[in-house]
Structure 1
Amino acid sequence: MAKKSIHITPLGKNWQVKRAGSSRPISTHLTQAAAENAGRPIAQKDKTELFIHNRKGQIRDRDSYGNDPFPPRDTKH
């Protein structure tokens, strides 16, 4: 079974680190940067994707660790 992705999302005035499909946060933080610092090692350990959302809930950035679903293409050949 594939590990579910990690999401950094707003929670009121704070930020939370959540696993996709879970209703409970892994952790909550005062700043988005602190939440990213907490969520990144989890995504790296699980070899999954990290999604960083903005205050409106839209995805503003994403990082893949392990199996990249959209690997870079070889442009030389």
Structure 2
Amino acid sequence: MAKGDVHTSWDADREKWVNRREGNDRPSSSHDRADDASSRGQDLARNTGSEWIKHRKDDGRIHDRNTYGKDPYPPKG
């Protein structure tokens, strides 16, 4: 994953959903609802042409992702 990708995940310390860019310690935004956090995270990724990754609240595994940058064409593999 490239530096600057946006991760949407549950922050147990804040008890909120947060968006955090890779490489940053502080969250870019925090939200009470997962849908609000996801929407904002996608906007952040779209504006910078990076990838958005949403993690599950219960175990932190990747739940959803989308790339807003330049995907290689044709894809490898």
Q: Does TM, scored on the shorter chain, surpass 0.5?
A: yes
Equivalence for 1:24: 26
**1:4 maps to amino acid:** G
2:33 alignment partner AA = T
Paired letter, 1:40:
Q
Partner of 2:44: 42
Name the residue aligned to 2:65: 62
What residue number does 1:33 align with?
35
Larger radius of gyration: 1
Partner-residue secondary structure (3-state), 1:57: coil
Decide whether the 8 Å contact of 1:3 with 1:46 is kept in 2.
no
Q: CA 1:10/1:72 → structure 2, altered by over 3 Å: closer, same or farther?
A: farther
Runs of 4+ off more than 3 Å: none
Structure 1 unaligned spans of 5+: none
CA 72–28 in structure 1, closer or farther in 2 if over 3 Å, else same:
farther
- The separation in 1 between residues aligned to 2:16 and 2:74, in whole angstroms, is 34
For these two proteins, the number of residue pairs brought into alignment is: 71
Instruction: Give the TM-score normalised by structure 1.
Output: 0.80
Q: Deviations over 1:37-67 (max 9, x none)?
A: 1111110010000000001211111100022
The alignment's TM-score, normalised by the length of structure 2, stands at 0.80
